[in-house]
Amino acid sequence: MKRLIHITGVYGVDNGVVEYRLYDAQVREQFAHALAIADAGAMAALADVTGVAGEDADLIDTKMLLQAIDRTSLRETNLHITRMQVRERVGPDLLILNASGTLDEMDKVCNTLSKRLREWYALYDPELERSYKDHRAFVDAVLTRTSERSPQTMGGQLAQQDIDDLLLQAQNVQMLFLRREALLEYLDAAMRQHMPNIHAVAGASIGARLLALAGSLERMAYMPAGTIQLLGAETALFRHLRNRKAKPPKHGVIFNHQLLQRTPRQLRGKVARTLADKISIAARVDFFKGEFIGDKLLAQVEERSRA
């Protein structure tokens, strides 16, 4: 229950109950036993559980309410309303936030296991291991070219059981890469559907990471552009605040944006400010369910990067 308002007098806030003083005697007498509920969902839930409905949109007679419920059912009512409100808080932004966190963890796991697989496979075929810099390409090569090992290799002779275990580990890593790609597709689709403007300006991956750092779409919508620009660069920012000789950061997560990557170093600060400003606008439009303007915002950033 967000707020129960007992309209008899003002004495402060206690356990979520807010009391308002009414100076008009007639109004005070009329609402002496009125309970105003500042949440339509809470009013509906209270009516469902107790059978007592308010005469107005958000007022309910407390005498009827106390007659309808005892102490036990009041507790059940509070639990029921709390469940409803917790359920309503599960929105698309929380799903995207958790998917983004899972994607970051999968990146770490894939990278760690790929390095371990490289060390392991180099004992058998070091030439093939050195031929691939990309982890994903290396894993695919292990599964397709193991039988093509050169007779001139410097690798050792392994038993078939050792080779089978090595290939099984490569299959597990490959499955993780495939699962990561599927999760990235899910994240892209979710961002495109629920936050189309952020998706258009920042992209699925960067937009989701900004959302995760902000905590929710609502928080991100109310953040100034300067804060969004430095999300992910907190360590460098605090280092600068502690020691003014250290250079302040110009960008955080948005540094990975393709426009910033193509921008000359001396212009990145200017483009980063513009990009953060447009992402801030996109977040507000998405939060308040406005029209799609992501393509226009991105075009403005591209124009700024060429200036």
Sign of the C-alpha dihedral, residues 36, 40, 46, 48? positive
Q: Which letter does DSSP use for residue 156 in this model?
A: P
Whole-number Å distance between alpha carbons of 257 and 278: 13
- pLDDT class of 254 with cuts at 50, 70, 90: very high
What are the structural domains of the chain?
Answer: 5-89 (no CATH), 92-187 (1.10.287.4070), 196-306 (1.10.246.90)
Q: What mean pLDDT is reported for the chain? A: 78
Query: 138-147: long-range contacts at Cβ-Cβ below 8 A with a sequence spacing of 24 or more?
Result: 138/114, 139/114, 139/170, 139/173, 139/174, 139/177, 140/174, 142/117, 142/166, 142/167, 142/170, 143/167, 143/170, 143/171, 143/174
Q: How confident is the model at residue 138 (pLDDT cuts 50, 70, 90)?
A: very high
Q: Residue 200, class by beta-carbon neighbours within 10 Å (0-12 exposed, 13-18 middle, 19+ buried)?
A: buried
Determine which of 7-11, 53-57, 102-106, 162-166 has the lowest per-residue pLDDT on average. Answer: 7-11
Q: Is the pLDDT of residue 168 over 90?
A: yes
Q: Are strands 17-19 and 4-6 parallel, antiparallel or unpaired?
A: parallel
Q: State yes or no: pLDDT of 109 exceeds 90.
A: yes
| Higher-pLDDT residue of 15, 104 | 104
The most confident of 55-59, 71-75, 137-141, by mean pLDDT = 137-141
Amino acid at 143: L
| pLDDT above 50: residue 28 | no
Q: What are 110-127's pLDDT values in tens digits?
A: 999 999 999 998 888 888
What is the CA angle 4-8-14, rounded to 5? 45
Q: What percent of the chain has pLDDT over 70?
A: 74
pLDDT of residue 36: 47
Cα–Cα distance measured from residue 152 to residue 169, given in angstroms and rounded to the nearest whole number: 25
Is residue 196 a contact partner of residue 266, using CB atoms and an 8 Å limit? no
Cα(298)–Cα(103) distance, rounded to whole angstroms?
25
pLDDT score of 9 more than 50? no
**Of the ranges 26-35, 137-146, 189-198, 235-244, the best mean pLDDT one:** 189-198
How many helices (H) and strands (E) the chain has is answered by 16, 5
In this prediction the pTM is 0.68
Most confident of the ranges 4-8, 33-37, 290-294:
290-294
Q: The tokens 């948005």 sit on which residue?
A: 254
pLDDT band at 38; cut points 50, 70, 90: very low
What pLDDT digit, counting tens, does each position of 205-247 carry? 999 999 999 988 999 999 999 999 999 888 888 888 888 788 8
Pairing mode of beta strands 17-19, 34-37: unpaired
Query: 279: closest CA among 237, 242, 224, 240?
Result: 224
Instruction: Quote the CA–CA distance of 134 and 138 in Å, as a whole number.
Output: 6
